[in-house]
């Protein structure tokens, strides 16, 4: 018997997962070194071993869901080297001004063709809203429309889009609501794409760290960017919003969130997908906004991100024949592990997606729940 094999199998059996079993969520072990690696390195070892072909699974998303639903990941403690990975986030500000562009350079600047291959026509790289539809494109339009309604966007509004991505929401708001939009981003590839995508519309795009934003706006939105701010900077982010928001304005924050406060991110995600990422908790968002902004509405869209990620993976798999000239098999396995493991995590309710509406003190409460 290989070291750790019995314990590994016993833990997975609690979730109804059998090693080399017949169910779609059962894993097939191709290299027996997997057992000791996972016990030593937890999800870092599990993810890297998948990338290297040490194991396979017909329904990776369902496997992760079953493990996380019972919180079986907490049974495995990991070795010292695994635990040391969390030390920098305890000691340093990993999302400081000098380090802020790391995420753009290593992820968002990766390749516009890659992202376009699996996203919707508006290139929304955030949770869609599958309300009355199973189509990803329509679900992303639903999401943008929901945001516009919560912000009560109207002709003449001055909108600040913090972390505007490829310009999808900026374009949608300008086209459908008649407002002018200032999109802020630090990804050169996204800004280049957004410039073409929003050409001819009242959309201004700025290469600017959020901490340096100037001007005032009566509507502010940030979708899928707060995950890169970091807990040491949450308060400063809210101070910027408070400074830039008109007295009767509305701010909508759309972010992935954690059920528990922490100062770190999953180490595999941090290394391979989102360097220096961090998921805020309800308490951390509350503390950051306390005394600055009124919280008007808190809407959990978490189950919709499960569907979004599954749709992205389906599109990615269909596009692989076109992409494989640029990327190798290990990249493919890394990307599908990212998409499917995250889908399983949302399905297990281990992580959430929140839309939080804020106003300034003294404002009239907006009709922000639809």
Contacts of residue 146, defined as CB under 8 A and 6 or more positions apart, other chains included, come to: 129, 131, 355, 370
Secondary structure string (H, E, C) spanning the chain: CCCCHHHHHHHHHCCCCCCCCCCCCCEEECCCCHHHHHHHHHHHHHHHHHHCCCEEECCHHHHHHHHHHCCHHHCCCCCHHHHHCCHHHHHCCCCCCCCCCHHHHHHHCCCHHHHHHHCCCCCCCCCCCCCCCCCHHHHHHHHHHHHHHHHCCCCCCEEEEECCCCCHHHHHHHHHHCCEEEEEECCHHHHHHHHHHCCCCCEEEEECCHHHCCCCEEEEEEECCHHHCCCCCHHHHHHHHHHHEEEEEEEEEEEEEECCCCCCCCHHHHHHCCCCCCCCEHHHHHHHHCCCEEEEEEEECHHHHHHHHHHHHHHHHHHHHHHCCCCCHHHHHHHHHHHHHHHHHHHCCCEEEEEEEEEECCCCCCCCCC
Catalytic residue among 148, 198, 244, 342: 342
Distance CA 159, CA 219 (A): 5
**Has 57 been annotated as catalytic?**
no
Catalytic residue numbers, as ranges: 342
């Amino acid at each position: 018997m290989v070291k750790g094999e019995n314990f590994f199998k016993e833990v997975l059996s609690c979730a109804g997962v059998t090693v080399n079993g017949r169910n779609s969520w059962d894993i097939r072990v191709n290299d027996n070194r997997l057992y000791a690696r996972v016990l030593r390195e937890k999800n870092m070892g599990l993810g890297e071993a998948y990338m290297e072909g040490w194991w396979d699974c017909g329904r990776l998303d369902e496997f992760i869901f079953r493990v996380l639903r019972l919180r079986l990941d907490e049974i495995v403690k990991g070795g010292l080297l695994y635990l040391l990975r969390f030390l920098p986030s305890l000691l340093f500000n990993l999302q400081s001004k000098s380090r802020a562009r790391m995420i753009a350079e290593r992820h968002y600047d990766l390749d516009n063709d890659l992202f376009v291959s699996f996203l919707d026509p508006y290139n929304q790289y955030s949770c869609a809203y599958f309300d009355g539809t199973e189509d990803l494109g329509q679900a992303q339009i639903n999401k943008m429309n929901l945001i516009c309604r919560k912000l009560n966007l109207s002709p003449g509004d001055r909108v600040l889009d913090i972390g505007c991505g490829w310009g999808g929401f900026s374009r949608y708001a300008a086209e459908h609501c008649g407002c002018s939009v200032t999109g802020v981003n630090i990804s050169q590839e996204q800004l280049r794409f957004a410039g073409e995508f929003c050409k001819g519309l009242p959309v201004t795009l700025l290469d600017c760290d959020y901490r340096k934003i100037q001007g005032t706006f009566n509507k502010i939105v940030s979708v899928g960017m707060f995950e890169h701010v970091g807990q040491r900077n949450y308060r400063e982010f809210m101070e910027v919003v408070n400074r830039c928001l008109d007295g009767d304005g509305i701010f909508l924050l759309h972010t992935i969130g954690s059920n528990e406060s922490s100062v770190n991110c999953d180490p595999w995600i941090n290394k391979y997908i989102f360097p220096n990422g961090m998921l805020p908790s309800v308490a951390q968002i509350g503390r950051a906004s306390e005394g600055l902004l009124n919280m008007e509405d808190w809407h959990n869209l978490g189950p919709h991100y499960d569907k979004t990620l599954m749709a992205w993976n389906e599109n990615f798999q269909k596009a692989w024949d076109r992409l494989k000239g640029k990327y190798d098999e290990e990249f493919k396995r890394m990307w599908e592990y990212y998409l499917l493991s995250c889908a399983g995590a949302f399905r297990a309710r281990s992580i959430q997606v929140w839309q939080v509406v804020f106003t300034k003190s003294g404002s009239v409460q907006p009709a922000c729940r639809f």
